[in-house]
């Protein structure tokens, strides 16, 4: 009698998160016993003085820590915005997909384009999408999968490239984002602690950012086509899926219906975010100073309702296309189509549960803040100047991002130490902020502490056809080529820009004039 062959597979991604959670709890206890802490300077917003602040590790390897885990796990999962926002957006994507709108739109726009050109355009869109903040992950990762699926390619290519572009793009953008506005406030505070009369315009970064956006988009395209696409297994399509897509007259009529209705919707929406016009500006926070803050400040209706604004746009596109081609004939079809992308979402929900638990526990330990605080202290006492200082700040930002992905939280710790040190080396404050942004752009895509990393991993698993599951280490391995090449390229760009000394934007230079 033959023995049954044991199948040896990799550790399930969920078990990997369980192991990481246990390791984090144990490490927090050890570091707490070792009194591992960080003392760095923060800005007193009232007096604008630098005051020392000490961060300590909070141990969860004790009774109070265990109580926190049991007490917060359910509420943390229920309040995890990634989950609720993803479900809402998937309803909009569902009706676009099920009605046939996405397949027709992708066929019409990409049929005559080369694969590499399609990839570049999509990647560039993802990089620029950082203007919309973290919600861009929820929009472009599922759309990236469908773009490559309907292009008869492995959907994982779209998932991997979109996550790389969105992560790197979160730190580089030609447009001045709400995150940039918050960072600039910390930069200006750090300058004011030195009692300096120094002004920075919101257009100070536009030129160097434009170059970075094109460079990064090109690099991600090359890495995707030459490395990632060749490493991934062949995706198996059915015979009907491989048939050539031909757009019929009905489908063209459906596109006209969809685009016309979406155009009217967007006109109304855009008018509502233009200030100082009759009955306009209803979605803005008029108490904010900068326009980007009027859009994305916590008190702005636009910021709170943006996820629904996008979802409603997707629903309109799918609904009116379906009416035009008669794939949606009644309200039953419409309602059924809303849940199409939510089929089989159980594994994704479980993944999000474990990821949200890990992130909550990691934040509670305060390990990220302590590490970033120590990096700030190290850089401020390094006694380096010029190019070596640029490299140290860049690497410090890249390492900090692995433990504290939030740009604003990191810069709140780093800015009071980095800005004065760089200023003494005649490196301008705005260039220091750019160094910080480029550093985090290099490693944002490889940290599981990022809340949206689990969305990337979950979609890789959703479209995985192999018998072997996608491991957490696999998802990071796919991103490493982007990290290495983009990191090296951006660092070289910074050094070259500093040496040449050309403007970074309007009235903005790498060195203090």
pLDDT, tens digit, 9 for 90 and up, residues 465-500: 876 778 888 899 999 999 999 999 999 999 999 999
- The pLDDT value recorded for residue 10 is 60
Give residue 370's domain range: 13-18+36-500
Return d(Cα 43, Cα 140) in angstroms, integer: 37
- Spacing of C-alpha 441 from chain mean position: 10
- The pLDDT value recorded for residue 298 is 66
Q: What are phi and psi of 86, to 5 degrees?
A: -65, -45
Each residue's pLDDT tens digit, 239-280 = 777 777 788 898 899 999 999 999 999 998 888 878 777 767
Q: Which residue, 76, 219, 195, 207, is CA-closest to 509? A: 207
- The pLDDT value recorded for residue 32 is 93
Q: Which residue, 84, 71, 143, 75, is CA-closest to 110? A: 143
How many domains is the chain built from?
Answer: 1
Q: Considering the domain boundaries, does residue 27 fall inside one?
A: no
How many CA atoms does the CB half-sphere of 432 hold within 13 Å? 30
- What percent of the chain has a predicted confidence (pLDDT) above 90? 55
Q: Are 303 and 284 in contact (CB under 8 A)?
A: no
302's tokens: 């636009």
Q: Considering the domain boundaries, does residue 310 fall inside one?
A: yes
Q: Are 134 and 452 in contact (CB under 8 A)?
A: yes
397's tokens: 């930002």
Instruction: Name the H helices within 276-385.
Output: 291-296, 301-325, 331-338, 346-365, 367-380
Q: Who contacts 130 (Cβ-Cβ below 8 Å, separation ≥6)?
A: 136, 166, 169, 170, 171, 172, 173, 177, 179
Return d(Cα 385, Cα 423) in angstroms, integer: 10
Between the alpha carbon of residue 16 and those of residues 1, 70, 365, 454, the distances in Å are 36, 20, 19, 12
Q: Is the dihedral of CA 126, 130, 136, 137 positive or negative?
A: positive
Q: Considering the domain boundaries, does residue 408 fall inside one?
A: yes
Return d(Cα 164, Cα 168) in angstroms, integer: 6
Q: Is the dihedral of CA 158, 161, 163, 168 positive or negative?
A: negative
- The pLDDT value recorded for residue 153 is 92
How many C-beta atoms lie closer than 10 Å to residue 313's C-beta?
17
Element (H, E) at 213: helix 206-223
Q: Considering the domain boundaries, does residue 509 fall inside one?
A: no
Q: Considering the domain boundaries, does residue 512 fall inside one?
A: no
Question: Would you mind telling me the total number of residues written for the chain in this entry?
Answer: 513
Return d(Cα 218, Cα 34) in angstroms, integer: 46
Return d(Cα 413, Cα 378) in angstroms, integer: 13
Instruction: Name the H helices within 404-428.
Output: 407-424
How many CA atoms does the CB half-sphere of 348 hold within 13 Å? 24
- The pLDDT value recorded for residue 175 is 83
Q: Considering the domain boundaries, does residue 146 fall inside one?
A: yes
Q: Considering the domain boundaries, does residue 8 fall inside one?
A: no
pTM of the complete model:
0.91
Q: Considering the domain boundaries, does residue 29 fall inside one?
A: no
Low-confidence ranges of the chain (pLDDT < 70): 1-10, 279, 281-282, 297-299, 302-304, 341, 344, 467
- The pLDDT value recorded for residue 330 is 86
- The pLDDT value recorded for residue 479 is 96
């Amino acid at each position: 009698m033959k023995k049954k062959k044991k199948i040896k597979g990799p550790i399930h991604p969920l078990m990997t998160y369980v192991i990481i959670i246990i390791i984090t709890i144990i490490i927090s206890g050890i570091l707490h016993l070792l009194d591992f802490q960080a003392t760095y300077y923060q800005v007193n917003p009232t007096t604008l003085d630098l005051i020392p602040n000490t961060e300590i590790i909070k141990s969860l390897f004790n009774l109070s820590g265990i109580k926190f885990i049991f007490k917060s796990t359910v509420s943390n999962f229920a309040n995890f915005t990634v989950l609720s926002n993803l479900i809402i957006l998937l309803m909009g994507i569902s009706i676009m997909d099920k009605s046939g709108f996405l397949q027709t739109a992708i066929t019409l726009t990409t049929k005559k384009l080369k694969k590499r050109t399609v990839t570049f355009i999509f990647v560039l869109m993802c990089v620029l999408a950082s203007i919309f903040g973290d919600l861009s992950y929820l929009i472009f990762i599922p759309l990236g999968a469908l773009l490559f699926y309907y292009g008869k390619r492995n959907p994982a290519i779209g998932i991997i490239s979109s996550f790389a572009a969105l992560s790197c793009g979160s730190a580089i953008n030609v447009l001045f984002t709400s995150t940039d506005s918050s960072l600039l406030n910390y930069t200006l505070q750090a300058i004011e602690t030195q009692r300096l009369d120094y002004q920075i315009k919101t257009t100070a970064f536009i030129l160097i950012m434009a170059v970075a956006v094109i460079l990064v988009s090109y690099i991600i395209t090359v890495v995707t086509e030459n490395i990632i696409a060749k490493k991934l297994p062949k995706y198996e399509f059915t015979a009907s899926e491989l048939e050539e897509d031909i757009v019929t007259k009905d489908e063209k009529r459906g596109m006209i219906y969809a685009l016309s209705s979406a155009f009217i919707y967007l006109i109304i929406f855009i008018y509502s975010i233009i200030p100082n016009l009759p009955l306009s500006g209803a979605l803005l926070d008029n108490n904010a100073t900068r326009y980007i803050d009027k859009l994305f400040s916590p008190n702005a209706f636009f910021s709170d309702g943006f996820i629904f604004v996008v979802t409603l746009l997707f629903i309109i596109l799918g609904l009116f296309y379906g009416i035009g081609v008669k794939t949606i004939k009644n309200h039953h079809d419409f309602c059924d189509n809303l849940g199409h992308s939510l089929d089989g979402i159980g594994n994704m929900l479980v993944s999000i549960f474990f990821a949200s638990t890990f992130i909550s526990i990691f934040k509670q330990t305060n390990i990220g803040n302590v590490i970033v605080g120590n990096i700030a202290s190290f850089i401020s006492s390094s006694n380096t100047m010029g190019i070596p200082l640029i490299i140290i700040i860049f690497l410090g930002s890249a390492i900090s991002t692995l433990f504290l992905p939030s740009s604003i939280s990191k810069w709140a710790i780093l800015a009071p130490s980095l800005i004065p040190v760089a200023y003494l080396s005649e490196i301008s404050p705005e260039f220091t902020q750019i160094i910080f942004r480029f550093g985090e752009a290099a490693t944002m895509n490889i940290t599981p502490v990022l809340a949206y990393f689990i969305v990337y991993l979950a979609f890789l698993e959703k479209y995985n056809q192999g018998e072997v599951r996608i491991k957490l280490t696999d998802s990071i391995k796919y991103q490493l080529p982007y990290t290495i090449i983009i990191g090296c390229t951006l660092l070289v760009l910074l050094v070259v820009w500093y040496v040449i000394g050309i403007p970074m934007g309007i009235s903005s230079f790498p060195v203090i004039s």
